[in-house]
Amino acid sequence: MNTAARLSLFGAGVVVAFGAAFGLAGAIVPAELVAGWQEKSEMNEHDTHDEPSATAAPKNDDHGGHTGHTAAHTTPQGLSLSENGYVLSPVQAPTAVGADGELSFQILDDSGEPVVDYTTEHDKDLHLIVVRSDGTGFRHVHPQLDAGTGVWSLPWRWQDAGTYRVFADFAPQGADGITLTRTVHVGGEWAPVASSASKTDEVDGFTVTLDGELTAGAPSELTLSIARDGQPVTDLEPYLGAFGHLVALREGDLAYLHVHPEGPSPESAAHDDSGDHEHSAVTAHGGPDIGFVAEAPTPGRYLLYLDFQVDGTVHTATFVVDAASAQHGAHDDSH
Ligand SMILES: [Cu+2]
């Protein structure tokens, strides 16, 4: 299979990964492509998604028999420290709040050897997400690999005590992309912060508003709009090849989806053969709206984290959205 086909199928796999998933369609992704993902997603799910709860469906034994979409997962990612023979080693990190140190780990293969060869995805060989179990303290960072030892590391300091989930999102060279997770404890007193539904966030002087509803088991359009001082922000910069990155965690088990736009980067969108040359106009700057197609696998609460870049600085806006069950449908959002 050629690289383009593999990447394309990986995209489909990611959409399937969350039981149809939070697919991210950045402003630069043509609508036809998004529609294509959804079609693939639906096709791929045929045999496992007759049940309302995709996550409860047993995994198909003949998974490998499906032509092509080897990256397809029928359960959400980010719930295990091992998958496909790969293991996330114990995570070394400071054990106390405020201590300067280093966070480090290895990815081990099925023979216990550290993995040193990766496939770059969205400009990075590995994406690291760290979040406290109550959904606070979210960080999306990119550690450095020591190619000699396979140790990934970066400087680290905990701001608050608590129990954290560490997610490593990567693709070993020649293998499917996976997300592995570990729990890390940081000693000290802490009080969990209860989430409350919120579709607006104020961050670093920006006001970010989420418009749209989540319906379990059905594609839902979400639009994130960014303003500063009451003015729409139209100078979003490409960050990791897109104008916005969305991480979605399901409250309750922190099932994880870290979705960058699949398909065209801001650069390649300009040469997209859809004939829609409008897209070339947004290759340098994007905004104020970033569009997403999201699909929650189950009803319930989801924690959404949007990374966007302005003036060379990455900002993260946080939202808490309750997905309605399909029979209730999307109710009116009149404001
Ligand atoms: Cu990343």
> pTM for this structure?
0.73
Distance, CA 111 to ligand 1 centroid (Å)? 27
Residues with CB under 5 A from ligand 1 (ion): 127
Residue 229 phi/psi, 5-degree rounding, is 55, 40
Residue 309, CA atoms < 13 Å, CB-side half-sphere: 15
Going by pLDDT thresholds of 50, 70 and 90, the confidence category of residue 33 is very low
What spacing in Å lies between the alpha carbon of 120 and ligand 1's midpoint?
A: 11
**Cα 326 to middle of ligand 1, angstroms:** 31
- Asked whether the beta carbons of 245 and 24 are under 8 A apart, the reply is yes
| Strand-pair partners of 88 | 107
Residue 190 is inside which H or E element, if any?
Answer: none
Between the CA of 258 and the centroid of ligand 1 the distance, in Å, is 8
Residue type for position 267: E
Residue 77 — pLDDT band, cuts 50, 70, 90? confident
Q: Tell me, what's the pLDDT at 284?
A: 62
Q: What is the three-class DSSP state of 232?
A: strand
Report whether pLDDT(105) > 60: yes
> Which stretch of DSSP H or E encloses residue 112?
none
Cβ neighbours around 189 below 10 Å, total:
8
Least confident of 217-221, 261-265, 267-271: 261-265
From ligand 1's centre to the CA of 31, what distance in Å? Answer: 24
Q: How far apart are CA 260 and CA 6, in angstroms?
A: 16
Secondary structure of residue 120 in the 3-state scheme: coil
Distance 316 CA to ligand 1 centre (A): 12
Q: Which residues make Cβ contacts (< 8 Å) with residue 65, sequence separation at least 6?
A: none
From 126, 116, 187, select the one nearest 150 (Cα to Cα). 116
Per-residue pLDDT tens over the stretch 186-243: 999 999 999 999 999 999 999 999 999 888 887 788 889 999 999 999 999 988 888 8
Q: From ligand 1's centre to the CA of 224, what distance in Å?
A: 19
| Strand ranges (E), the chain | 22-23, 82-83, 86-88, 101-108, 126-132, 139-141, 144-146, 151-156, 162-170, 178-186, 200-203, 206-211, 220-228, 231-232, 245-250, 255-259, 289-294, 300-310, 313-323
128 or 268, which is more confident: 128
Question: Measured between alpha carbons, how far is 188 from 191 in angstroms, rounded to an integer?
Answer: 10
CA of 317 to the centre of ligand 1 (A): 15
Q: How far is the CA of 324 from the centre of ligand 1 (A)?
A: 29
Place of tokens 């570990």: 182
> Ligand 1 centre and the CA of 115: distance in Å?
18
Residues 6+ apart with CB under 8 A from 211: 199, 222, 223, 224, 225, 333
Instruction: Report how far ligand 1's centroid is from the alpha carbon of 127 (Å).
Output: 4
The alpha carbon of 122 and the centre of ligand 1 are apart by a number of angstroms equal to 7
- DSSP letter (8 states) at residue 243: S
CA–centroid distance, 218 to ligand 1, in Å, is 26
Q: Separation of 297 CA from ligand 1 center, angstroms?
A: 23
With H, G, I as helix, E, B as strand and everything else as coil, classify residue 177: coil
What pLDDT shows up at residue 34?
Answer: 40
Q: Give yes or no for a contact between 78 and 179, defined as CB atoms under 8 angstroms apart.
A: yes
Which residues make beta-bridge pairs with 117? none
Domain boundaries, the chain: 82-186
Paired strand residues for 286? 236
Mean pLDDT of the chain: 76
Stretch 76-95: mean pLDDT: 95
Q: What phi-psi label fits residue 149: left (phi over 0), alpha (psi between -120 and 50 degrees) or beta?
A: alpha
Residue 141 CA to ligand 1 centre (angstroms): 6
Structure tokens at 330: 């999307």
% of the chain surpassing 90 pLDDT = 53
DSSP character for 238? P
Tracing tokens 């780990």 back to the chain, one arrives at 105
Ranges of beta strands (E only) in 12-100 are 22-23, 82-83, 86-88
Q: 216: closest CA among 84, 8, 20?
A: 20
144 Cα–ligand 1 center, Å: 12
How many whole angstroms separate alpha carbon 123 and alpha carbon 286? 19
Residue 179 Cα to ligand 1 middle (Å): 12
128 Cα–ligand 1 center, Å: 6
* Cα–Cα distance measured from residue 280 to residue 267, given in angstroms and rounded to the nearest whole number: 8
- Give the CATH number of domain 82-186; options: 3.40.50.1980, 2.40.50.40, 2.60.40.10, 3.60.110.10: 2.60.40.10
Which residue's entry shows tokens 């569009």?
Answer: 291
Residue 102, helix vs strand vs coil: strand
Helix extents (H) in 18-65: 31-45
